[in-house]
Amino acid sequence: MKFLALISGGKDSFYNIFHCLKNNHELIALGNLYPKESEKQELDSFMFQTVGHDLIDYYPKCIGVPLFRRSILRDTSKNVELNYTATQDDEIEELYELLKSVKDQIPDLEAISVGAILSSYQRTRVENVCSRLGLVVLSYLWQRDQAELMEEMCLMSKNISDIESNTNLENKFDARIIKVAAIGLNDNHLGKSLPMIQPVLHKLNQLYQVHICGEGGEFETMVLDAPFFRHGYLKLTDMVKSSDGEVHNARLRVEFQPRTLNEGFLQTQLDKLPVPSVLHDNWQELLQVLTNRQMETRKIEVGNIISKNVTTTSINKLNGKMYVSNLQSHGSKTVEEQSQDIFAELTEILRFNEIPRNHILSSSLLVKNMSDFGKINKIYNEFLDLAKYGPLPPSRACVGSRRLPEGCHMQLSVVIDIRNTHSDKISGNKGGLHVQGRSYWAPCNIGPYSQSIWLSDDANQVSFISGQIGLIPQSMVILEKDPLCQTILALQHFDTLCRTIGAQKKLFMTCYISDKSIIDIACKAWALYCSDLSCDDKECLIIVKISQLPRGAVAEWGGVACGQLQIDENDYDREDGEDEDISCKFEELSLNIDFLHTITVGSFESQKQFITGFTGDKEELSLVLEKCSKLAQVTLYFNSEESIPFHHNVEYYPVEKVFDHHGKEHRFGLHIRS
């Protein structure tokens, strides 16, 4: 893709350009925002580094691409919410106007490079602007380990002896410290290169948790040279230091030095540039273990039966949430017409209950034919209208199921927060992870969904995680290796999301498989994953064989996780007369059903149970659903061609086969939440 690089002059924006080039994108322009009061070096912007802005005009000479600039005023960070929405007179709107102007002049501009590492504040704002302009965000430094990233930057930088002798043997990176504002850093560190200051930063990180890459504002840098500076570099001639308390600044004086590079030098440096492996080290080990084992190939016979079960919309209010399940449309209508019907019904349900659309937390979408997904997704996106209803769309799992009733193109179920429905907050009570930029971290969102959503006031941070498939994050192309690699990569992505948000306790897990050979791979991968984590979550998994997955994937992992349990069901003794939890009520029924996993989340006053179970007896299933209709919300995965009795408060999920975490087949699988 042809991209513009947002630059501040600092190391991160330029190092990200290098990774963009490594991933075969084409740099066509530079962009920068600078203080309108040009004599000012620091605007205390929440978003943009402006220290060293007087050197920015040299960079188009060095690189050979045009520079587009726009001025910003002091104190224009009007909207400081983490998840940004367009706000009049905010400095981010100046970024929007800058990029809009560039796109008008360069119509084939496709992407924007940004050097964010940890700052979600910066990332969400650039993504907001790019989303409005139809541009892709390239952020290859996002969520990188800072020590590892600094090591790589130093590896690709000029060595200390070259800098000290003021020679320029190669046009490697040369970033200099121009501002320090952290314990252990002083004016003696100004002007030093990254290799010079790296040992100091490691020591300060160990002593005081100073961010090695300066993500806490500990220091700022200015780049004098880079491998893609084809036409020249900046030679440091003088440095003027100043101090304000514990903050020390350096104003660099430089001269442009033209040069001619050997043909192919840039490609040589790109070949040397380290990039994270698609499968991380521990996941490579898991892959090796499974590869060394003799994997069983199990034949799964699947017919072309179309379910005759026509369900009714179910609405269940439970523990501050509303579960709207089984939204369908039937008859000889087109895919678009059925989609419009379903979203019209959901709109009416929300209107009747006086609930804004931004209170939808999670959605489950079944599509009879995945080739129709684009048509459905367009209407889905129009319904959410992120510009109007907020920047955090629901998490989502989407699969293809030929077992939907005849004449039904799709089914939608959603989970909605029904508290604080009159709040002025544009995102409601939601917290979330909505990363739209390409990186090495995990797949970005390329549609109207978030990677994860949770309630901001939930101490347990019960989080809905979107279904993850085996995409290579930096290219968003499906991994075309064997099914084992793809299945493990998809599980790695799910784990990465859980770790990023700090919600590693699994409550519900569903693995959707579209290939008959995946069942044993999924079981063994899950068992090893749980074993490595020394966790007891493995029994919360239901594996279902479905018809199709997005991008032709063979496996998709999705579910619900939380940050902390607070209490477990065994952490206290019940007094006489206290209410028993839902699992005990089921035991009283003496049901012939194997409840494999029960976990309690919350406090003594407010408990929620998450139960995973299986059965092969339809009569016993009916008893369970009848009992649950008064106590809980159920997702029922079923493969029976027989008619299934309808119960309220049940999401009916027609699939081809149902398995537990051992790979044992069942007629029915249940995820139950009280």
Query: Is 293 a domain residue?
Result: no
Among 14-18, 339-343, 579-583, 592-596, the least confident range: 579-583
DSSP state of 218: S
Q: Tokens 């003088």 belong to which residue?
A: 238
pLDDT digits (tens, 9 = 90+) for 428-465: 789 999 999 999 999 999 888 999 999 998 989 999 99
pLDDT of 341 higher than 80 = yes
Give pLDDT, residue 571.
Answer: 46
Are 6 and 67 in a shared domain? yes
Are 357 and 216 in a shared domain? no
Specify which residues 658 forms β-bridges with.
544, 666
Write out the two tokens for 584.
Answer: 């005990």
pLDDT band for position 598 (50/70/90)? confident
pLDDT band for position 309 (50/70/90)? low
pLDDT band for position 588 (50/70/90)? very low
Query: Is 109 a domain residue?
Result: yes
> CA dihedral in degrees (438, 439, 440, 441; nearest 10)?
-100
Query: Is 561 a domain residue?
Result: yes
Residue that terminates a domain, selected from 244, 272, 300: 272
Are 668 and 621 in a shared domain? yes
Are 237 and 380 in a shared domain? no
Q: What is the mean pLDDT of residues 226-231?
A: 94
Query: Is 278 a domain residue?
Result: no
**Could you write out the DSSP letters of every residue in 470-493?**
-EETTTTEE--S-HHHHHHHHHHH
Are 520 and 636 in a shared domain? yes
Are 492 and 589 in a shared domain? yes
Query: Is 279 a domain residue?
Result: no
Query: Is 566 a domain residue?
Result: yes
b/e code 114-149 from CB counts within 10 Å (16+ = b): bbbbbbbbbbbbbbbbbbeeebbbbbbbbbbebeeb
Residue that terminates a domain, selected from 251, 272, 293: 272
Are 235 and 348 in a shared domain? no
Give pLDDT, residue 599.
Answer: 85
CATH of the domain at 122: 3.40.50.620
Are 245 and 340 in a shared domain? no
Q: Is 532 in a helix, a strand, or coil?
A: helix
Are 323 and 264 in a shared domain? no
Domain of 167 in residue numbering reads as 2-272
Of 487, 623, 503, nearest to 543 by C-alpha is: 487
Among 67-71, 282-286, 428-432, 519-523, the least confident range: 428-432
CATH of the domain at 327: 3.30.1330.40
pLDDT digits (tens, 9 = 90+) for 204-226: 999 999 999 998 889 999 999 99
Query: Is 297 a domain residue?
Result: no
Of 633, 607, 317, nearest to 460 by C-alpha is: 607
What proportion of the chain, given as a percentage, has pLDDT over 90? Answer: 66
Domain count across the chain: 2
Are 595 and 544 in a shared domain? yes
Residue that terminates a domain, selected from 272, 297, 321: 272
More reliable by pLDDT, 295 or 338: 338
Write out the two tokens for 140.
Answer: 């290859």
Are 268 and 316 in a shared domain? no
Are 485 and 577 in a shared domain? yes
Give pLDDT, residue 580.
Answer: 46
Q: How far apart are CA 423 and CA 425, in angstroms?
A: 5
pLDDT of 674 higher than 60 = yes
pLDDT band for position 86 (50/70/90)? confident
Complete edge-to-edge strand list for the sheet that includes strand 463-468: 430-433, 452-455, 463-468, 555-562, 505-513, 541-545, 657-659, 665-666
Query: Is 288 a domain residue?
Result: no
